[in-house]
Structure 1
């Protein structure tokens, strides 16, 4: 007797550009988890996955899309930085009545920019296509990222499908006929203007470890191409191309990897076009909020901002 494959595994050839969501796992508190949904595939690359956590609710709930950091070179949707306990991050979002979506994206040595933004945009379109399956509200989606993920969150908020940059930054991976806009952005110590960082001195890696320059690795290209590539990859480039959603920028004032001035530049650009933006400095904090004895208030402020603007 021949046993047939489940629908989401019966791929055929060539493989489809995305898969339908897997069945949820339901925890005792009613939270439904859809783990490892394949939101985009590209020949030659690993499938891009996302996890969806939906709190118990009577109807569709707003969504927060978490975008991990790691210098665009590493990182994993399942793990926030070591300074942010995963239970604190996930629990704070779910307890606020928000669904949490954690996404992976291609790293820069797999594919340079704009592949990372293409993946984030594809994830947003996937969520809208399958909103009913997940039990989420496709009209209330916010993005929240840290470091490299903060950069991608800012771009997701500023790059419009109908903007002058057109399809070049929307990409053509995964589902292509859904909206990729978002209604709120939280950006933790993200890069906003890459040109000035091409010559920025980085902290030395641990002894004996070689580590690529994350900024030039993201951009790819030759040295003479990088200034224009840096402009194209900088959120400030797009701050005036469409009406921006509300932004919350939180950044340590002693950040040695991504200077605090990066968030100042983006805040100023958004203010010039009448955008709603809040810049919250964290005095004395280094990257990933190193030096902060208790990150709970920072997480709480971020969740409250998202809940307010997604109208929970």
Structure 2
């Protein structure tokens, strides 16, 4: 497997935006997984698949490459650098760069799976609903309806930290002057949406699983395909259920294979 790093965008006044591309040695055009990291939109980097995979070997990127995918993981501007929609704009810029360089890099940009966890799941869902060539979306416990996030926390008996309405709340730092609906994947669901796999722990104290339910309901109402899996005893990042990270990855890999290769491949 090879790993190469590229600068996909240079936004004046900001750090260079980088992506890593992992791929195996198989000839021909490879379907593409675009991975978007989490971190509450405030922290994180393209090098992380999430803390639950920090010490795994082979890494998730290596496993995806071994399964026949080209895998790219993208950095994007964090909320300390710029508010929404900068994060989504950066992910879209990465898509554009990958399309422009698809031939030289051996990428099949007509078979793209966009995959993200937490804040990255939110951005992956948004990108999957607007980008061309996306054949599937994998969203792990991402916020889906920012207009209802505080309500869902309250109904689950949880309190946002910092408190709802605080200018330091993660949504406030993301949105600044943007209306919550404008940054919510549920707003952009349409009948032509690609298939979605939504995985969420029922004990998530940061993004209640009601958020994934809301997105699943919107996709179903639009006539799109969605597979919602809710897991008992699992919190955010699969905390409380140590074996679930591996299960979630295996389910997601098989979902990606099905929609890129038409079924299981070795």
* TM-score, with length taken from structure 2: 0.89
CA distance in 1, matches of 2:162, 2:12: 36
CA distance in 1, matches of 2:49, 2:109: 24
CA distance in 1, matches of 2:97, 2:134: 13
CA distance in 2, matches of 1:182, 1:41: 25
Within the candidate set 151, 160, 184, 1:202 is matched to 160
Equivalent residue pairs, number? 250
Greater CA radius of gyration, 1 or 2?
1
Find runs of 4+ consecutive structure 1 residues off by over 3 angstroms.
85-88
Within the candidate set 61, 65, 79, 1:108 is matched to 79
User: In the alignment, is residue 218 of structure 1 matched against residue 187 of structure 2?
Assistant: no
CA distance in 1, matches of 2:220, 2:27: 38
Match of 2:196 in 1: 247
2:149–2:211 Cα contact (<8 Å) kept? no
Match of 1:140 in 2: 111
CA distance in 1, matches of 2:17, 2:196: 26
The equivalences for 1:1-312 within 5 A come to: 31-35=1-5, 37-85=6-54, 87-159=58-130, 180-198=132-150, 200=153, 201-203=159-161, 212-221=168-177, 229-240=179-190, 242-294=191-243, 295-311=245-261
Instruction: Give the C-alpha shift of residue 137 in structure 1.
Output: 1.0
3-state secondary structure, aligned to 1:280: strand
CA distance in 2, matches of 1:219, 1:204: 15
- Write 1 or 2 for the structure with the bigger share of helix: 2
Instruction: Give the C-alpha shift of residue 195 in structure 1.
Output: 1.1
CA distance in 2, matches of 1:268, 1:218: 25
CA distance in 2, matches of 1:255, 1:181: 32
CA distance in 2, matches of 1:40, 1:198: 34
Instruction: Give the C-alpha shift of residue 183 in structure 1.
Output: 1.6
1:63–1:98 Cα contact (<8 Å) kept? yes
CA distance in 1, matches of 2:239, 2:2: 33
3-state secondary structure, aligned to 2:261: coil
For the aligned residues, what is the CA RMSD? 1.8
CA distance in 1, matches of 2:36, 2:14: 19
CA distance in 2, matches of 1:129, 1:272: 35
Instruction: Give the C-alpha shift of residue 202 in structure 1.
Output: 2.2
2:110–2:133 Cα contact (<8 Å) kept? no
Instruction: Give the C-alpha shift of residue 95 in structure 1.
Output: 2.0
Query: CA 1:181–1:112 in structure 2 vs 1: closer, same or farther (change >3 Å)?
Result: farther
* TM-score, with length taken from structure 1: 0.76
